[in-house]
Amino acid sequence: MPARLYINCLGTPEVLDDAGAAVAVPTRKALAILVYLLRTPGRLVPREQVADILWSKAPRDKAIQSLRQALRQVRRIEEASGIRFLEADKGHVGLTGSVLVSDFDEVSEFLESGGVADFEAALTRIRGPLLNGYETLDPVFQDWLTIERQRLTSDYTASALKVIDKLSLLDEADRVEAGCRFLLGVDSALEHAHQILIKLYLVSGRKAEARAQLKQCEAELKVHLDADPDDETLRLFHTHMDAYVQRPSAKARFAVEPVSAMANATLCHSDGPDLIQLPQLTIASFVDADRLDSRVYTILDDIRSCLGAYRNVQIYENDNETQGTPQKVTYLDAGELGSYLLRFRHDAHMGLIYLQLENRVSGQVLFNEVIETEQVADFNRLREATSQTVNRIQSHVIGRLRARVGKQPFSRWCQAEALLCEFSPSADRKAVAILDELQAASPNYSVVYSGKASVGLKQLL
What pLDDT was estimated at residue 290? Answer: 58
Distance from C-alpha of 25 to C-alpha of 222, rounded to nearest angstrom:
41
* Sequence-distant contacts of 450-456: CB under 8 A, at least 24 apart: 451/413, 451/416, 451/417, 451/420, 452/256, 452/257, 452/262, 453/259, 453/262, 454/420, 455/255, 455/256, 455/420, 455/428, 455/431, 456/254, 456/256, 456/257, 456/258, 456/259
The pLDDT of residue 93 is above 90: yes
Statement: 1-179 belongs to CATH 3.20.20.70: no
What pLDDT was estimated at residue 379? Answer: 72
Q: What is the pTM of this model?
A: 0.54
Same fold, 1-179 and 280-373: no
Tell me the longest C-alpha to C-alpha distance in the chain: 83
Distance from C-alpha of 156 to C-alpha of 111, rounded to nearest angstrom:
8
Q: Sketch the domain layout of the chain as residue ranges.
A: 1-179, 188-246, 280-373, 405-460
Residues 130-154 pLDDT 10s: 999 999 999 999 999 999 999 999 9
Residues 15-46 pLDDT 10s: 999 899 999 999 999 999 999 999 998 999 99
Residues 188-222 pLDDT 10s: 999 999 999 999 998 888 888 999 999 999 999 98
* Sequence-distant contacts of 131-138: CB under 8 A, at least 24 apart: 131/9, 131/13, 131/32, 131/35, 132/11, 132/12, 132/13, 133/12, 134/13, 134/28, 134/32, 137/28, 137/29, 137/32, 137/54, 138/53, 138/54, 138/55, 138/56, 138/57
Phi, psi values for residue 362, rounded to 5°? -100, -15
CB distance 239 to 418 below 8 Å: no
The pLDDT of residue 250 is above 80: no
Distance from C-alpha of 40 to C-alpha of 128, rounded to nearest angstrom:
21
Among residues 6, 5, 13, 7, the alpha carbon closest in space to that of 131 is found at 13
The pLDDT of residue 247 is above 70: no
CB distance 356 to 286 below 8 Å: no
The pLDDT of residue 239 is above 70: no
For the domain spanning 280-373, the CATH number is 3.40.50
Q: Is 92 helix (H, G, I), strand (E, B) or coil?
A: strand
CB distance 193 to 201 below 8 Å: no
Q: Which of 7-11, 144-148, 153-157, 300-304 has the lowest mean pLDDT?
A: 300-304
For the chain, the helix, strand and coil percentages under 3-state DSSP, each to the nearest 5 = 55, 15, 35
Exposed e or buried b per residue across 143-168, where buried means at least 16 C-beta atoms within 10 angstroms of its C-beta: bbbeebbeebbeebbebbbebbeebe
| Mean per-residue pLDDT of the chain | 83
CB distance 322 to 288 below 8 Å: yes
Percent of the chain residues topping a pLDDT of 70: 87
Q: Which residues contact 288 (CB under 8 A, 6 or more apart)?
A: 322, 323, 346, 348
Higher pLDDT among residues 312 and 145, named by residue: 145
Distance from C-alpha of 176 to C-alpha of 192, rounded to nearest angstrom:
13
Across residues 438-448, what is the average pLDDT? Answer: 85
* Sequence-distant contacts of 58-67: CB under 8 A, at least 24 apart: 58/370, 59/352, 59/370, 59/372, 60/372, 60/375, 67/93
Q: Which of 55-69, 173-187, 315-329 has the lowest mean pLDDT?
A: 315-329
What pLDDT was estimated at residue 401? Answer: 87
Among residues 387, 393, 402, 334, the alpha carbon closest in space to that of 368 is found at 393
The pLDDT of residue 254 is above 50: no
Which amino acid appears at position 324 of this protein? G
Across residues 261-289, what is the average pLDDT? Answer: 61
Cβ-based neighbour number of residue 376 at 10 Å: 21
What pLDDT was estimated at residue 232? Answer: 80
For residue 55, name the pLDDT band (cuts at 50, 70, 90).
very high
Across residues 54-67, what is the average pLDDT? Answer: 94
Distance from C-alpha of 424 to C-alpha of 409, rounded to nearest angstrom:
24
What pLDDT was estimated at residue 418? Answer: 85
The pLDDT of residue 256 is above 60: no
The pLDDT of residue 271 is above 60: no
Among residues 3, 26, 16, 175, the alpha carbon closest in space to that of 84 is found at 3
Higher pLDDT among residues 380 and 179, named by residue: 179
What pLDDT was estimated at residue 406? Answer: 81
Distance from C-alpha of 7 to C-alpha of 430, rounded to nearest angstrom:
38
Q: Is 170 helix (H, G, I), strand (E, B) or coil?
A: coil
With left for phi above 0 and alpha for psi between -120 and 50, is residue 82 left, alpha or beta? left
Classify residue 324 as exposed, middle or buried by CB count within 10 Å of its CB (0-12, 13-18, 19+): exposed
Q: How far is CA 124 from the centre of its chain?
A: 23
Cα–Cα separations (whole angstroms), residue 398 to 72, 307, 410: 39, 12, 10
Residue 15 bridge partners (DSSP): 7
Pairing of strands 44-46, 92-95: antiparallel
Residues 370-428 pLDDT 10s: 888 887 777 777 878 888 888 889 888 888 888 777 888 998 888 888 888 877 788 88
